[in-house]
Amino acid sequence: MRHTPHDVEVSAHKISRRALLLGASQLTFMGALGLRMRQLQIDEAEKFRVLADDNRILTQLLAPARGLIFDRNGTILAQNEQTFRLVIRREDSGDLVTLFAELRKLIDLTDQDQDRIRKELKHAGPSAPVTIKDRLSWQHFSEVAANTPSLPGVSLEVGLTREYPLKDDFVHLVGYVGTISPYDISRMDVVDPIYRIPRFQLGKSGVERTLEESLRGEAGILRVEKNVHGRIIREMSREEGINGENLQLTFDSKLQNFVQARLAGESASAVVIDIETGDVIASGSTPAYDPNLFVRGISQSKYQELLNDKFRPLPSKSVQGAYPPGSTFKMVTALAALEAGVISVNETVRCLGHSEVGGRKFHCWKRVGHGNMDLFDSLKHSCDVYYYDIAQRVGIDRIAEVGRLLGLGERYDLPLPGMISGLMPDKQWKRENRGADWVIGDSLNASIGQGFVLSTPMQLAVMTARLATGRNVYPRMIKAINGINVALKEQENLGINENNLRAVRKGMFEVVNTRRGTAYSSRIADDAMMMAGKTGTSQVRSAVVNNDKVPWEQRDHALFVAFAPYQNPKYALSVIVEHGGGGSKAAAPIARDIMLATMNDGFPPLEAYPSRQRRAAEERLKQLDLRESPLNSGNTQA
């Protein structure tokens, strides 16, 4: 079939258009291919070079700096110390025998260390670092760094560890941190990824434990490139974590040091509260121990020594020790009777040395009796029979009501683990917990702080603060967080008749400041600093035997509570000396020294002691192991 010239022209036009489209498509494809090749070979060359060379990008968590802890005046109580450590990862570990042999030429690496490393590598993730050695000296750090080419998979890290510069002064308050353990992990409902950081430290006791979440901060993220030999080639990106919050506590480190030194040699506790704010400015518990031992790894023998010590150095006696309050409880019984209207301040009770109830004799501490006692006399002489009598009239439920109003039997909202609530019993409590009815003998025992009644030194200090003010003084330990002051709790009126409170305070004043008061020998001679208080002796055995004739652990506890200055109360305190015997001899002298130190910038002024006692006081104060002692520096007035 012949094609006309027109047909040939049309056909050629169609072929040219198709060729153009095909060429354009080929050009577009080649252009896209060229762009992709450029992207792969130039823009992403580094990424694929890593893959091609069997390199890998490792993501690590960065431990944040733990928040610092200060006292109320800015003295550091817990800080972070730079530390050098040597780590290895399981995927890079290679021949451990050869590696350990090389390391032993550079650092001290025991057989126990090697066993631990093998065990940790077995359970760690492939890229998780396992610590070979912590707290390396700078010399060892430098030697290892110079020899890293011959130590495959080993890397050096600079980190932070906790340090407590004031050592045992604050161990029961600030507490300590330790390396996180599988047991710690097992106790957590939700495990924060930060706790997967090897050798990460978390709070084990005290404020460090209770406020762990605030202090620990948030982890950062580091991405590094490593080659096939496990060497870090470069850091690819870093996102810094968020440091923990800094805490300022209410304690005065200078006063705390004095309290610990004054209690030294005893199994004892003392608590001092600023009445106006509720700030706990000192809370001593002895014996104590250096928390840095636990941070660095305490030996088993040393831990057993602490655990088996009969003076119990590990718990905080201030909030974990429950003791019969003894005669320091008599203000509660007196106030309950006054509030109920069953006695007046001038009404007397005759003490013949005992009170007979239901055919049983309840003895007074003074076997020959005190004679006629009114409220003031009963506190001044600490007459037991007076309280046996009024307890029968007022009843345990009213006594317990006033006791709770004054803070007994309450677990305070303080950042300390293991706090106990003590016990302020009543009829219902005995039915529910002992399966028995309350009997009159229970009331008599409770009226003098014995029987079922239990309290902590912290509770007794709060009780005394509330007696001194008539307000709901509530203890606190956190003054500021990251420089922002924590709001004070409003101190509401307790609703107790002020005249009744004045009567009890007057009786406490006579305990210390009248010649026949049980604490007269511990009075303060300076009128502007005079204190009011109450001695207490609580039995730990039923038999009445002289304390000198029984072993230490069977002797009575010695107690004393006080507030000062009497005319304008600013501070309240409590002191308990375990198995110390009488409160007037063992606890009251300690309390006076502490109260004077509280009112005089951490050290008692000698002129505040009665003149005949100053030389003995000076000698006693010179013997204290204080960080700063005005007597030893020669700056104290005689």
Is pLDDT of 182 > 90? no
Is pLDDT of 581 > 70? yes
Rounded alpha-carbon distances, angstroms, from residue 92 to 121, 145, 232: 11, 17, 11
Return the exposure string of 604-618: e unless at least 16 CB atoms fall within 10 Å of the residue's CB, then b: bbbebbeeebeeebb
Is pLDDT of 634 > 70? no
Q: If pLDDT is split at 50, 70 and 90, which confidence band does 159 have?
A: confident
Q: Answer yes or no: are the C-beta atoms of 155 and 122 closer than 8 Å.
A: no
The overall average pLDDT reported for the chain is 88
Q: Answer yes or no: are the C-beta atoms of 530 and 565 closer than 8 Å.
A: yes
User: Distance between CA 552 and CA 562 in Å, rounded?
Assistant: 26
Helix (H) or strand (E) holding 132: strand 129-136
The residue with tokens 């029961």 is: 172
User: Distance between CA 539 and CA 551 in Å, rounded?
Assistant: 14
Q: Could you tell me which residue, 597 or 223, shows the higher pLDDT?
A: 597
Q: Nearest CA to 275 among 473, 414, 458?
A: 473
- The reported pLDDT for the residue numbered 8 is 56
Domains annotated for the chain, with CATH where assigned, are 58-249 (3.90.1310.10), 253-302+317-633 (3.40.710.10)
Which amino acid belongs to residue 281?
A: I
Query: Averaged over 597-604, what is the pLDDT?
Result: 95
- The reported pLDDT for the residue numbered 580 is 92
Q: Which range, of 329-333, 356-360, 395-399, 412-416, averages the lowest pLDDT?
A: 356-360
Q: Nearest CA to 71 among 209, 174, 192, 184?
A: 174
Q: What is the pLDDT of residues 110-132, one digit of tens each?
A: 888 778 878 877 776 666 677 77
Per cent of the chain over pLDDT 70 is 89
Q: What is the pLDDT of residues 217-254, one digit of tens each?
A: 998 888 877 665 555 667 778 888 899 999 999 999 99
Helix (H) or strand (E) holding 614: helix 614-622
- The reported pLDDT for the residue numbered 95 is 72
User: Distance between CA 163 and CA 177 in Å, rounded?
Assistant: 9
User: Distance between CA 158 and CA 136 in Å, rounded?
Assistant: 10
- The reported pLDDT for the residue numbered 401 is 98
- The reported pLDDT for the residue numbered 250 is 98
Q: Which pTM value belongs to this model? A: 0.84
Burial of 326 (0-12, 13-18, 19+ CB in 10 A): buried
Q: Which range, of 112-121, 362-371, 461-470, 589-598, averages the lowest pLDDT?
A: 112-121
User: Distance between CA 147 and CA 145 in Å, rounded?
Assistant: 5
Rounded alpha-carbon distances, angstroms, from residue 91 to 52, 109, 282: 19, 21, 51
Helix (H) or strand (E) holding 444: helix 440-447
User: Distance between CA 127 and CA 385 in Å, rounded?
Assistant: 74
Q: 74 phi and psi, to 5 degrees?
A: 95, 5
Q: Nearest CA to 468 among 573, 560, 386, 394?
A: 573
Classify 59 in phi/psi space as left (phi over 0), alpha (psi -120 to 50) or beta.
Answer: beta
Is pLDDT of 38 > 80? no
Burial of 349 (0-12, 13-18, 19+ CB in 10 A): buried
Q: Answer yes or no: are the C-beta atoms of 106 and 254 closer than 8 Å.
A: no
- Say whether 95 sits in a helix, a strand or coil: coil
In terms of DSSP H, where are the helices of 218-322? 253-263, 292-296, 300-308, 317-320
User: Distance between CA 385 and CA 615 in Å, rounded?
Assistant: 38
Q: What is the pLDDT of residues 512-521, one digit of tens each?
A: 999 999 999 9
Collect all residues with Cβ–Cβ distance below 8 Å to 196 and sequence separation of at least 6.
61, 128
Query: Averaged over 257-284, what is the pLDDT?
Result: 97
Burial of 307 (0-12, 13-18, 19+ CB in 10 A): exposed
Is pLDDT of 184 > 60? yes
Q: 378 phi and psi, to 5 degrees?
A: -65, -35
Q: Answer yes or no: are the C-beta atoms of 560 and 575 closer than 8 Å.
A: yes
Is pLDDT of 104 > 70? yes
- The reported pLDDT for the residue numbered 589 is 97
Is pLDDT of 405 > 60? yes
Q: What is the pLDDT of residues 47-94, one digit of tens each?
A: 666 555 445 677 778 889 999 999 999 999 999 988 877 777 766 667
Burial of 17 (0-12, 13-18, 19+ CB in 10 A): exposed
- The reported pLDDT for the residue numbered 125 is 64
